[in-house]
Amino acid sequence: MVEKMKLLHITGPRNDIDRVVKQYFEQYEIHFENAMTSLNNLKNVRPFVETNLYKDVAQKGEELKQYLEVSRRTDLEVTPEQAQEIILAVHNQLEDVVEKKDELNGKIRELKEWMAQTTPFIGLDFELCKLRDFHFIDYRFGKIEVENYHKLEEYVFHNPYTLFYECNNDSGYVWGVYFVPHTHLEEVEAVYASFEFEEIEVPDNFEGTPRQAFEGSKKLLQEYERELERLKMQALELVKNSEQEVLAACECLDSYCSNFEIRKFAACTRSESGGEEYYILYGWMSKRDAEKLQREIAMDEKVNCVEEEPGNDVRSNPPTRLKNPVLLKPFEMFVEMYGLPAYHELDPTLFIALTYTFMFGVMFGDVGQGACLILGGILLYKVKNMRLAGIVAVAGVWSVLFGFLYGSCFGFEELIPALWMKPMDNIMSTLMLAIGFGAGLILVAMVLNMINAVRAKEYGRLLFNQSGLAGLACYGFVVVCALLFLTGNGLPATILMGVAIGIPLIAILLKEPLSHLIEKKKDIFPEGSKVMFFVEALVEGFDVVLSYATNTISFVRVGAFALSHAGMMGVVMTLAGLEKGNPNWLIIVLGNILVACLEGLVVGIQVLRLEYYEMFSRFYTGNGKPFVSFKKKDQ
């Protein structure tokens, strides 16, 4: 069901808004509307504009919380001003340590980059610092692909002006350094480039061989990391010493910053004489919470709260919050997928819970597989809180029930007796019953549409819509005639049939002018040519009759899938050799899993299609706006 709402008008001194939010609104779920949207045509009303003075401090508090156990709680209470002082004091003490940490992290990063550049040349067994003494010889460090290196070796062998010294290699590259006289540098450099030699800048501040320099850097890196760990412990200890105060300050500022967002919904006003300024808030609450809040605010002299019942104007269009028993909660997912009901509209959760699971059971009737759906659905719903799993579990109950009615258990048709009938033995009856069941559901959907029309005060829709009273009379009479014919009883007189079907159809064709007439509108016929109106009405009438037929026949799939389930399991049993008396149990198990997964998915989708297209489209608009709690939105 849709929970009853009340609109609250809340006003008070502008500088008291934070106290009101913390004292009252943090305890309740409330859906705020933008007050300026409703009051923009009034004088002396403007948006509530204010700067959040504690936002930056709150961010610094979040940095401090990284050093603490966030799950810890404190009973200490502080004001926003005190919280600001606490956070700034601890953050300033921590700033020197953080600066040293950042500086040390930079050194570690540079040292690691230096070591990464040096590692491939560890095999070079001479002191690189002596290379700086070369005056006539140039050198280049780099790497080359193994395939090109073999070509380079031949070139180096025949060229007396260059020497390549290999330092390291792997499956893809060879690292090394080549030497060349300064007079031949450009020529040799161009050749190496043609072999895709990638030059690497190696630092020239080595002391000793590359291996000695690398080992020294490794020791220095360990010292840096130990110092970094010491600084981390120092920072942690520093914040830990003020843990309770920091947690209390962060909690206070988080609450303040969250509540500060309420100003987006508020408006401000001041009397023309320039007196005290007041805030104005509009918010929706459940009827029960609103009455409780009213009792609490009644003793507060600084707050004025007025209740208003939902009306028909846009400003007082309440949000929708569904309130259903635990068993129906999972089915709210299907309602939300289509669209929440408008406030004055029927909640279809119970309807879809009954019809969806019932049709699923009819189409997927099997005791064993249904029991697996129940167990799997309950397990996933409890562990993962998956609403779809809850739906599957309830649908599995109907599958078990119809499994007993069909006499089917894991595809074995002779294991248990059929309490009703076996679909494959009564194919025509199964299909006809499915169509009859669909016709009954369409009639129920028409009744629900009429209830929604009364709630919305749309009397034209109530009387002349194809799913209204006229549609119910026309379609219902056809269903009655079909039942009489199938049961061998005589049909009503032709004139009676013509009147009972024709008059409602004419009312449906003329629904627009008839609706205008009963609603006492000035223009009965729509604008434009009356000839075109009647042509469009005839086309629409044909579409209405066709939709009645197609929507009804669409339910034949309920019986068809009941037959297909029995047929698919029959194929599995044949492949397993059940008829020969020595079945292959592996095939039976795998076949049951395959059929249960594949057909369960297809049946679930097909039933949902029937719900949305054949029933929801007749009585349900789903244009409600969701209830968004201010408290939950900021959590």
* pLDDT at residue number 123: 72
What percent of the chain shows pLDDT beyond 90? 24
* pLDDT at residue number 366: 92
* Length in residues, the chain: 635
The answer to whether the predicted template modeling score (pTM) of the entire model surpasses 0.75 is no
Nearest residue to 559 (alpha-carbon basis) of 436, 442, 417 = 436
* pLDDT at residue number 219: 87
Average pLDDT of the chain, as a whole number: 85
pLDDT higher than 80, residue 228: yes
Q: What are the pLDDT digits (tens) for 328-367?
A: 999 999 999 999 998 889 999 999 999 999 999 999 999 9
* pLDDT at residue number 272: 61
Q: What are the pLDDT digits (tens) for 187-197?
A: 888 888 888 88
* pLDDT at residue number 432: 92
pLDDT higher than 90, residue 396: yes
* pLDDT at residue number 526: 66
> Is the dihedral angle over the CA atoms 372, 375, 377, 383 positive or is it negative?
negative
pLDDT higher than 70, residue 281: yes
* pLDDT at residue number 440: 93
| Close Cβ partners of 434 (under 8 Å, ≥ 6 residues apart) | 362, 555, 556, 557, 558, 559, 560, 562
According to DSSP, the β-strands at 267-270 and 45-47 are antiparallel
* pLDDT at residue number 314: 46
Question: What's 74-96 look like in SS3?
Answer: CCCCCCHHHHHHHHHHHHHHHHH
Residue carrying the six token digits 């009941």: 562
Averaged over 449-460, what is the pLDDT? 88
According to DSSP, the β-strands at 45-47 and 137-145 are unpaired
Q: What are the pLDDT digits (tens) for 464-494?
A: 888 889 889 998 988 998 888 888 887 887 7
